[in-house]
A and B are shown apart, each in its own frame.
Chain A
Amino acid sequence: MSQLLEMLSLPLVACIMMGGILGYSGIHVLKREVIFIDIALAQIAAVGSIIAHLAFEAEEGALLSYVFSFSCVLSIAMFYALVRRRVIQISIEAVIGISYAIAAAAALFLIGLAPGHVHVEEMLAGSLLWIQPTDVIWAFIAFSAIGACFYIFQRPLSTISQNYQDAVTEGVRVVWWDFLFYGLMGIVITIAVRAAGVVVVFAFLIIPATVSALFASRWAARLLIAWTVATISSIAGLLFAYYLDFSVGPAITLFLGSALVIATLLSRLHKAGSIKVTR
């Protein structure tokens, strides 16, 4: 039992933190319909750290590597904000999806200049089990700061998420607020993906927010549901992975996915029930 706690307490703390910040931003992401944002920003951050490595031999996790990742992510945030405002013919989701392909090709291209073998799988699945206490502390500081930003600038950000065109006609400075939103998202995702891998971060971002939309429409209620789902799925996933010897990341994702399936069935039953009552 004590061994179990020792192994899983740090990953669980990391999961709860990620569930907190990603659960909130996931609601924004769903409202804006920019589902691809996690995968695209993670890929762009990876390009930044590859450039840092090729140019200055910076190791992964070094300060310089983070600086490069963050600069790439912030530039792309400005790009998304501008394109969203000025190109109305295609959806921003399509632009983000394509930017992912371009960034992935750029990463392969840069590596192709100096050929080598690359472990794709580990980056996808992450290594949450081996997270270090210092990583958790740094992530806590960064996530708290970003959470505070989200809280302070809640009003303009959610106005834009709710309806972009309305925000434009109301005179909100959409490009700057969008830049802030995508920039903050970029920093959260860069940090979270280094710890947990792309898939887990994607699942934490989209699934709890989707579950919450099934049962509530007010922000506070949705947040509460999203956080509960994220926490319960994390605990279940960690235990499943521990006892049956699977990778932690995929296991947690699987439980988040099952939570969504169960929630969908429950909401169907609930609706069917309420229709009967009203009749």
Chain B
Amino acid sequence: MITGLTEYSESLKAAKKNSEDRKQKTELRSDLFSAVWSLFGKEIIMSESVGLFSRQIALIAVVLVLHTYIGLHIIRRTLIFSDLVLDQLAAFGALVGVALHIAYGSPLSYLLAMSAVLFGSLLLALINPKNREIPREAVIGILYALALVISLLLTDKLPGGDIYVEKTLTGYLSWVSWPLVIVTIIVYIALLLFHYKLRHKFIALAENPQTLKNEKLWDFLLFTTQGIITVLIVPIAGVLLAYAFLMIPAAIATMFTRKWAGAVVLGWSIGFVACLIGLGSSYFFNFPYGPSLVLSLGAFFIGALVLRSLRYRKGYE
């Protein structure tokens, strides 16, 4: 995700050359194309992009509810790295699939990713250092580094492996189709019902875990939920956007209210508005959609920080 500049400048040159070649070809085609375009092309493409836009909006609206709620848990308990651990393990599962000649994105590859994620949730739930000098976040960070490293060592021995490392970082929100939206929505609603039903347990886990009998079990269920939504959303949105969906609306809400329901409503509303702005600007100015969405969410986050720091003595209202 961090980008080497030399490769970048080389790729710039390649892209420039590529676009020159393409320009020549398009000039040849453009006359014919413009004739067809003026007849009916515009209408079809317009309605298609409107369709895609509404699919993306529908997906974001549903996804944000659960992400905001899970994000609240993660932010309040400072387990920020857990999302990257699960992302990386999902990617590792898919990479193992590639090594075993299982196609990327096939059901079996999803299954491998899911088992890696379940293993990760188990580790996250079980490892909880009692030493006060070692914060839990540090252990989670180390798990992330190790998950990343085994992925890198695996790709070392895999022909073309580096391509897959990149594939897992960016997503394909532009490929969103209705069946995918429907599957995602059904799973999300099931998870939402589950969390609504057991909300007292999970909130106790965040606020006073001593009162819970099986703290590790509830931790495991929380991380498993996070893992399931990771496996579903990362191929579509990419690691970065999935992480931003989880963290930013929840972080904004946490700054302004201590109530759980209020925070979900506040986080969802701000997150949704920010996503609309990001998605809209990516359409109108032709910006890359993923980074636009994250930057739009980020702008709201910085705005909230500034607002909060201006009146920092007042605490919660």
Give chain A's interface residues, CB within 8 Å of chain B.
Answer: 30-31, 33, 35-36, 42-43, 46, 49-50, 53, 59-60, 65, 82-83, 86-91, 93-95, 97-98, 101-102, 104-109, 111-112, 114-125, 193, 198-199, 202-203, 206-207, 210, 213-214, 217, 246-247, 249-251, 253-254, 257, 260
Contact = CB atoms under 8 A, between A and B. Distances in A.
Contacts of A114: 12, 15
A118 B2 CA distance: 9
Closest 3 pairs between A and B when the two form their complex, measured CB to CB? A116-B11, A105-B294, A60-B5
Contact of B290 (A36, A94, A108, A120): A108
B34 interface: no
Given A199-B149, A250-B153, 19 more contacts: A33-B137, A50-B3, A89-B256, A90-B75, A90-B254, A94-B78, A94-B80, A97-B81, A101-B298, A104-B294, A105-B240, A111-B3, A120-B162, A121-B152, A123-B3, A207-B145, A210-B139, A249-B152, A250-B152
Of A108, A122, A254, the most chain B CB neighbours within 10 A belong to A108
Tell me what chain A mostly uses at the interface: helix, strand, loop, or mixed: helix
Interface string B124-147: 000000010111011111100110
A120 B153 contact: no
A258 to B, nearest CB: 9
B40 interface: no
B244 interface: yes
B156 A83 contact: no
B166 interface: yes
B152 A88 contact: no
Contact of A90 (B5, B141, B255, B290): B255
B232 interface: no
A123 B8 CA distance: 11
A89 B316 CA distance: 8
A35 B169 contact: no
A94 B71 CA distance: 11
Contacts of B68: none
Interface string B145-180: 110111011011000001001100110000000000
29 contacts: A35-B137, A49-B5, A50-B3, A53-B8, A59-B6, A83-B309, A86-B309, A89-B254, A90-B254, A90-B255, A94-B251, A98-B251, A107-B1, A107-B2, A108-B1, A112-B288, A116-B15, A118-B166, A121-B162, A123-B2, A123-B4, A125-B152, A199-B148, A199-B149, A202-B141, A210-B138, A250-B153, A251-B153, A257-B149
